[in-house]
Amino acid sequence: MVRVLHMIGSLELGGSQSMIMNIYRKIDREKLQFDFIVDHPDRMYFADEIHKLGGKIFIMPTFVGSNVLEIRKKWKKFFLDHQEYKILHSHVRSYASLYLPIAKKFGITTIIHSHSTSNGRGATALIKNILQIPLRFQADYFMACSKCAGQWLFGKRIVRQKNFFIIRNAIDLEQFAYNEDVRIKTRKELGIEKEFVLGFLGRVTAPKNPWFVLDVFNEIKQRKKNVKLLFVGDGELLQEIKESAKDKGLAKDIIFTGTKGNTFELYAAMDAYCFPSLWEGLGISLIEAQASGVYCICSENIPDEAIVTDFVEKVKLDKGAAIWARKILQHQKYNRKCTSDLIRKAGYDIRENARWIQKFYLKIGKSI
């Protein structure tokens, strides 16, 4: 058996974590296993499932900038104690340059994976940008969720090389396919009757631009009665968003669900999906929403690879919330379609992706 060690940072319900878990559920776990290193043990949404699937979880200290020597010492000791690992797949980029060289000294094949197109702004982002520079010279293989995510982290030269691969953030198409019975059941459970439902799903953090979602919903409410906002997710800004919703007089018409695992049911309950991110490596939730057949409106910051159906409308954020609201209401009588074939052809079928990456890992594992 080949065991792949994933450095993932946290096991919260996020886009990169969901991508890995989607693959993990579909691989042949008698031939291939996933283990995980995390440095944020307070965010462990997937921990129980990983243990049930046969995976192990290891804890490392959180990198804070001043503990470089401690980080290097801990990683060296880990590889001394766990020489069974031949593949390290890092989904953390900010300080991977500290531990990738250590892994290589132990004869481990290294993979660095880009899931984003920005570190944001400010001093912390600048430090991360600097730390990332050596990565393109340290890894054996390079992966990204989209071409632009690859170019951002590795540069155009790496993206043209044979050791660079785009790994689509694929999903279970059968699970996310629209089902009218699921829609009726979910809306009933949420207390939704005939209301028009705008949906948002994602981590409640600055890159996801949750304030703009509130602004769009506020504009919709001024134009239409009987509307609800289904706000799915958790994160550092959730309380701030709740307070803002209360101040705007919107709270009574917003359903805050927190983090949910049954996202396919929630997409079915929506009538439109709002995705105004400031930046995205890809945007797995947009793929999920399209699989459910719901009309989607997204910002100009979403990579073109994430738009695989004809019912996604890309609108610039500087057009303002009022324009977004009008666009959404123009599609309130939209008839949902089956989109599985379109999404499969675009490369987002998890079964096909899992087969490819299993073959990739096993080939590396057996050659070492």
This prediction has a pTM of 0.89
Checking if the pLDDT of 123 tops 80, the result is no
Checking if the pLDDT of 367 tops 80, the result is no
Checking if the pLDDT of 286 tops 70, the result is yes
- If one compares 317 and 13, the residue with the highest pLDDT of the two is 317
Predicted pLDDT at 66:
87
Over residues 250-283, the pLDDT tens digits come to 999 999 999 998 899 999 999 999 999 999 999 9
Checking if the pLDDT of 74 tops 70, the result is yes
Written as one letter, the residue type at 217 is: F
Give dist(CA 288, CA 261) in Å, integer: 13
Options 3.40.630.30, 3.30.1330.10, 3.30.70.20, 3.40.50.2000; which CATH number does 173-345 get? 3.40.50.2000
Written as one letter, the residue type at 333 is: K
CB 85 within 8 A of CB 368: no
Predicted pLDDT at 368:
62
| pLDDT class of 51 with cuts at 50, 70, 90 | very high
Predicted pLDDT at 34:
98
Over residues 85-122, the pLDDT tens digits come to 999 999 998 889 999 999 999 999 999 999 988 877 77
Return the domain boundaries, the chain.
2-170+349-367, 173-345
Using the CB atoms, write b or e for 8-21: b if 16+ within 10 Å: bbbbbbbbbbbbbb
Checking if the pLDDT of 297 tops 90, the result is yes
Predicted pLDDT at 279:
93
- Topology alike, domains 2-170+349-367 and 173-345: yes
Over residues 342-353, the pLDDT tens digits come to 999 999 999 999
Class of domain 2-170+349-367: alpha beta
Written as one letter, the residue type at 36 is: F
